[in-house]
Homo-oligomer: A and B are copies of this chain.
């Protein structure tokens, strides 16, 4: 299948097409006018559903290895198990997979890419590209800016993650919890052990033997890989909050050299896709509701952290479903096209 020319665009498959991120991926492919010749929406079980794309309702097909025959680019957001099973199948058929699960991110042979941070890592690839975790995604461009400007010594992050990070079911669960509270009831979750409407929950993904969560470990390991700082000292507490959309993060960093808040704001503003919102006296700081629907990463509350030499603190907010997942995956696909990496530029080619 390699070296086929696509004068009219690419055959693009989306696995997990009916999920919150998958649907957003399809919307963003259309929004950004990605050169799609044919869209193939796939799901673990099709259930007779359709997705809307460029004015048409396209039937969702049940995924099987042969689904990827003739596909140029496949964007996956169907969980780790599906990615482990189907990404190699797709890659072996000459398709480039952009995978949003955690399955391949830390594989040494798989690039892990934030579009504006490390596009160069795409070349070479072996047919599978990993899309970072949402919490990592919105932080990486800011850490990159600081690393370039003044060197990174240590990073401490506390997250305020919206329920949409756990998919459409979690959003519906919060909506139901809110309705229960409003009607005077005692809210419980239909899917989790605790109700987020009444408690921030410091438990995202599974717990590891060292007491951290897998989500917290993702922030650590993925940041190191994306920034190519394998020994970066970074630590996180990941917390779910009763917000529908967008993740917020409180970040305290220690830099190698002095950097004033003004210099930090300038460094942040110099990153593509980053908007500085920092006029707190006039109530302007990044807010989840303002970020929802945008592809930008918003940063504000930039200030000196006096508790350490060359300390800096800031507040980062981005739409976790868009830049945190779907948009970056599409941006990776755009880079693959731009860098001529859709076919024939593989490690083993």
Residues of A within 8 A of B (CB): 154-156, 158, 160, 175, 178-179, 181-182, 193-195, 198-203, 207, 210-213, 220, 233-235, 237, 239, 241-246, 248, 250, 252, 261, 280-281, 283, 285-290, 292, 300-308, 311, 313, 315
Of residues A175, A179, A306, A307, which shows the largest number of chain B Cβ atoms within 10 Å of its Cβ? A307
In the complex the two chains form, is A160's CB within 8 Å of B287's CB?
no
Give the chain B neighbours of A302 by CB distance below 8 A.
211
In the complex the two chains form, is A280's CB within 8 Å of B211's CB?
yes
Given contacts A160-B241, A203-B283, A241-B242, contact A235 B305 (CB under 8 A): yes
Given contacts A241-B160, A301-B211, contact A200 B288 (CB under 8 A): yes
- Distance to closest chain B CB from A91 (angstroms): 34
Give the chain B neighbours of A178 by CB distance below 8 A.
178, 181-182
Copies of this protein chain in the complex: 2
In the complex the two chains form, is B305's CB within 8 Å of A202's CB?
no
Selected from B158, B198, B289, B304, the residue in CB contact (under 8 A) with A158 is B158
In the complex the two chains form, is B154's CB within 8 Å of A195's CB?
no
Selected from B250, B290, B308, the residue in CB contact (under 8 A) with A154 is B308
Give 20 pairs: A residue, B residue, CB < 8 Å, sorted on A.
A156-B252, A160-B200, A160-B241, A178-B178, A198-B244, A199-B287, A200-B288, A201-B287, A202-B248, A202-B285, A202-B315, A207-B281, A211-B304, A220-B307, A233-B306, A235-B305, A235-B307, A235-B311, A237-B250, A237-B315
In the complex the two chains form, is A241's CB within 8 Å of B241's CB?
yes
In the complex the two chains form, is A199's CB within 8 Å of B156's CB?
no
What CA separation (Å) do A198 and B293 show in the bound complex? 13
Give the chain B neighbours of A237 by CB distance below 8 A.
158, 250, 252, 301, 313, 315
Given contacts A154-B307, A200-B243, A212-B303, contact A195 B160 (CB under 8 A): no
What CA separation (Å) do A250 and B236 show in the bound complex? 9
What CA separation (Å) do A233 and B254 show in the bound complex? 13
Kindly report which residue of chain B lies nearest to residue A180, judged by CB atoms. B182
Kindly report which residue of chain B lies nearest to residue A176, judged by CB atoms. B182
